[in-house]
Amino acid sequence: MTTSAPTELAWRRVCLFGDLEPARGIAVLVGGRRLAVFRSLGGRLHCLADRTMPTGTRLSAGRLAEIGGSPTVIFRDSRQRVDARTGICVTDPALTTRAYPARAIGGVVEVAIPPL
């Protein structure tokens, strides 16, 4: 029987904390992955794989809102809602995307991603 080794995550710098407007997303390209990074009004960071929604809008174009106590990415042109902590699309689970750990150290935002 073989077992696979746990995947190591590498923290990668993506932007400065000050580059993130509260409740707005930005798109970044890190390690060959397009990611959406959000900063909540309270300063918490969230990172999701930046997928295209059915309306053609990228996840990074969404806004971060608190809905039912959960940070949620919402869109002006769609009813889609994505939980920013888990990447689960609460309105259509087929649109679920990957969530990545994010942190700020010394004013620099970092995201943990596995190797390709």
Residue 62: DSSP 8-state: S
* The 70-74 sheet, strands edge to edge: 63-67, 70-74, 81-83
What was the pLDDT predicted at 4? Answer: 46
pLDDT per residue as tens digits for the range 39-94: 999 999 999 999 988 888 899 999 999 999 999 999 887 888 999 999 999 999 99
pTM for this model (two decimals)? 0.89
- Higher-pLDDT residue of 8 and 103 is 103
Q: What pLDDT score was predicted for residue 2?
A: 43
What is the CB neighbour count within 10 angstroms for residue 107? 9
pLDDT on residue 7: 67
Q: Which amino acid is at 89?
A: C
The angle formed by the CA atoms of residues 40, 18 and 112, to the nearest 5 degrees, is: 65
Quick one: tokens of 15?
């932007």
Q: Is the dihedral of CA 10, 64, 88, 26 positive or negative?
A: negative
Round the average pLDDT of the chain to a whole number and report it.
91
pLDDT at 33 over 50: yes
- pLDDT the model gives residue 52: 86
Fold adopted by 11-111: Rieske Iron-sulfur Protein (2.102.10)
The domains of the chain are located at 11-111
d(CA 94, CA 103): 28
Residue 71's pLDDT is 97
Give the SS3 label for residue 90.
Answer: coil
In 3D space, the residue among 64, 62, 25, 11 whose CA is nearest the CA of residue 42 turns out to be: 64
